Amino acid sequence: MRSGSTPAGISQALFDELKWYFQYALSTGANVCASPNGNVLVKTINHAPTDTQGFIARDDEKKEIIVAFRGTTSLTDAFVDILIVPVPLLSPGVHPPLGSLVHVGFLTAYNSVASDVISTVRNQLQLYPDYNLVASGHSLGGAIASIAGLSLQQNFPHRNTRMYTYGQPRTFNGVAAHFVNSVFGNKAHRSVHTNDGVPSLLPQGLTPLGYRHHGVEYWQFVEPATPGNVKFCNPDGEDPACSRQIFPSAGINDAHGTYYGLTAGATFC
């Protein structure tokens, strides 16, 4: 178990951490987030053809560079969501094992901004060489952030890289999901709120082409949002005692829009 978790749930410190990085994910919904979580806006991400949006921020107190992506808000985003064919995980600077596959829509969205993200982060690290890296996102943004997090870890292997995703649909096949687990361990934080159906929309496959979640899942299994009501799940990503038990027909529901007591539409700019 991760340090800080308890038999009844997780620690207050970890709960606050998960909530803090959700605030970055929410703030991608602002037209321009001039001060994400009260920190420095380094660059706004906006690629019109794929409607991939978000920002790169810098927290000089925590010594972090944060890359955050917006969830589904447009028809273009919805089109990205339904491009569910798995394709080889090919992205600048990423070297996964043979057989690694990823959702083509999510990969296309990230790759449309990958070079810009990597070059901006590289420039920041030249100025702030002791800073760590974080990727965050909700829903579609969570899927993109999971690829971005892997991209940051692979391109900057000597930096401490963490990812925080919320309501993320399955993004990788089994080979790629296990690769994410192997390079991140408990530095990958994937949150699911009660019966949010989006994480289960793409069912787990039993073939190399099938989808699988990466870990570590933090499942708020009941209301209200408190540390004691969040379960630390099996780090392999597919714990049958956690959100995997949610039937996929739940789909996009009220639970999808709220995490850690914060509701989609709120911004922290």
Q: Annotated catalytic sites, by residue?
A: 139, 196, 256
Rounded to whole angstroms, the Cα distance separating 88 from 66 reads 26
**Interacting residues of 75 by C-beta distance below 8 A, sequence separation 6+:** none
245 phi/psi in degrees, rounded to 5: -75, -10
- Burial of residue 41 (number of CB atoms within 10 Å: 0-12, 13-18, 19+): middle
Secondary structure element (H or E) that encloses residue 106, with its range: helix 104-127
Strand, helix or coil for residue 133: strand
Max Cα–Cα distance, the chain, nearest Å: 48
